[in-house]
């Protein structure tokens, strides 16, 4: 809707064309045929200044997020992690308000054997692979070509051709509970059993 010049009262002719006159199937014109921009072909719904402001904002968003509208520039790991099981890329998601990275196949239909990776674990493994005390995004972008996740192993492939495997371990629930939390759980269990 924001790209449609018709709202401003103008028309772009020959956006699509027919290649096969028997099937009459239209094909999007990506420069194969000439296009014609005609001004004031019908009454405008919005004024030209508003339409041009929207086009400027769209262009700024394309430069910031990528021409295809994806958000690949938001996170350093976006498009970088590949699943070792199905070959799809990992994407970022929030679980209980904490960031995780998950195979896009597993997130859709769960037919992949990959594991979700906590972002904190991914950052720590990346720093270890780079030999840094703390993670640095700019060094990661400069040196790492790709990351492959298979089970609990992350394989970092560097732009110089070398690679390193880092094994990560998800902290179990037992390790994350404090003595106070354990005591409260015991009391709650006793109450539920009616003892």
Q: Given pLDDT bands bounded at 50, 70 and 90, which one contains residue 195?
A: low
Per-residue pLDDT tens digits for 57-79: 888 877 766 655 444 457 888 88
Q: Given pLDDT bands bounded at 50, 70 and 90, which one contains residue 38?
A: very high
Residues 90/133, Cβ–Cβ less than 8 Å: no
Per-residue pLDDT tens digits for 145-186: 989 998 888 999 998 888 889 888 776 666 677 888 888 888
- Name the pTM for this structure: 0.53
Q: What is the pLDDT of residue 72?
A: 47
Q: What is the pLDDT of residue 21?
A: 83
- Percent of the chain at pLDDT > 70 equals 90
Q: What is the pLDDT of residue 68?
A: 53
Higher pLDDT, 105 or 119: 119
Find the mean pLDDT for residues 74-100: 86
- Percent of the chain at pLDDT > 90 equals 12
Determine the Cα–Cα distance for residues 39 and 23; give it in Å rounded to an integer: 32
Higher pLDDT, 172 or 113: 113
Per DSSP, the residues of 20-88 read -TTTT-EEE-SSSS--EEESSSS--SS-HHHHHHHHHHHHHHHHHH-TTS--TTTSTTTTTEEETTT-P
Mean pLDDT of the chain: 84
Determine the Cα–Cα distance for residues 1 and 7; give it in Å rounded to an integer: 8
Residue located via tokens 């998800």? 170
* Burial class of residue 9 (count of CB atoms within 10 Å of its CB; 0-12, 13-18, 19+): middle
Determine the Cα–Cα distance for residues 77 and 86; give it in Å rounded to an integer: 18
Residues 41/28, Cβ–Cβ less than 8 Å: no
């Amino acid at each position: 809707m924001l790209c449609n010049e018709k709202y401003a009262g103008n028309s772009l002719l020959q956006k699509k064309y027919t290649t096969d006159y028997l099937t009459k199937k239209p094909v999007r014109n990506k420069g194969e045929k000439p296009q014609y921009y005609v001004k004031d072909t019908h009454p405008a719904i919005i004024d030209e200044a508003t339409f041009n402001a929207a086009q400027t904002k769209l262009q700024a968003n394309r430069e910031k997020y990528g021409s295809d509208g994806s958000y690949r520039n938001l996170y350093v790991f976006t498009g970088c992690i590949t699943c070792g099981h199905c070959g799809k890329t990992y994407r970022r998601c929030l679980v209980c308000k904490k960031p995780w990275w998950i195979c896009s196949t597993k997130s859709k239909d769960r037919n992949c054997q990959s594991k979700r990776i906590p972002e904190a674990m991914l950052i720590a493994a990346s720093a270890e692979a780079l030999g840094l005390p703390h993670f640095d995004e700019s060094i990661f972008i400069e040196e790492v070509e790709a990351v492959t996740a298979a089970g609990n192993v992350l394989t970092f492939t560097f732009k110089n051709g070398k690679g390193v495997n880092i094994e990560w371990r998800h902290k179990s629930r037992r390790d994350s509970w404090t003595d106070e939390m354990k005591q409260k759980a015991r009391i709650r269990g006793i109450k539920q059993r009616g003892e």
